[in-house]
Amino acid sequence: MSNGKTVRQNLEIEINRLRDCIQDKLDDYMLREKSNNAMYIRTGKLQNSLKVDLTLVQVVNGVFQMKVEFDESGYHDSGDGIKGWDGNGDKVNTAYLFNYGYTVKKNVWFKNIKNFGWRKPGQFIEDGIAEFNKNNPLGIKVDIIKPNGYLV
């Protein structure tokens, strides 16, 4: 390319920059959450779970694809770190719940407790993408592929 780097090298640089933009927004979100919540003991695993696997570069229908994703270390067992509740044994996708928000549907004791029975969407993924797009010289299109989510 005109900057002396290969297409792959440029894509790797940009995908790492995208990861960094999302990471910055996640860090900001978690800092705000920490100051607003004394019910949880934070492990930091979610903030360390954002990964790019550069070996997974694919070309699909003439389009290069690379993934920025949260690995399994960002998941936790329901109830982990919560004072006074052992959870229900489910595995929780923390990134999904924090980014998209949730509302507990069951009539349980914590249903009306903010950030426990319900949470507003953090939108750190979308905010990170918006930050990335402010300077997107290669015109990379970023799509969010939501996992199946989590039944709350």
Tell me the pLDDT tens digit for each residue of 26-71: 999 998 877 665 555 667 788 888 888 777 677 777 777 777 888 8
Q: pLDDT band at residue 17, thresholds of 50, 70 and 90?
A: very high
**In whole angstroms, how far apart are CA 69 and each of 74, 103, 141, 152?**
10, 24, 16, 22
Position 37 scores a pLDDT of: 59
- Copy the structure tokens of residue 118: 């319900």
Rounded to an integer, what distance in angstroms lies between the CA atom of residue 96 and that of residue 107?
22
Share of the chain above pLDDT 70, in %: 80
Q: Is 63 left (phi over 0), alpha (psi -120 to 50) or beta?
A: beta
- Compare 143 and 131 and report the one with higher pLDDT: 131
Confidence of residue 152 (pLDDT cuts 50, 70, 90): very low
Mean local confidence (pLDDT), 69-81: 73
- pLDDT value, residue 147: 67
**pLDDT of 1:** 87
The rounded mean pLDDT for the chain is 80
The whole-number average pLDDT for the span 92-109 is: 86
Cα 30 to Cα 35: distance, rounded to the nearest angstrom: 9
Residue 136, phi then psi, degrees to nearest 5: -125, 70
Q: Which two tokens stand for residue 74?
A: 């960002």
**Mean local confidence (pLDDT), 132-150:** 81
Global pTM exceeds 0.75: yes
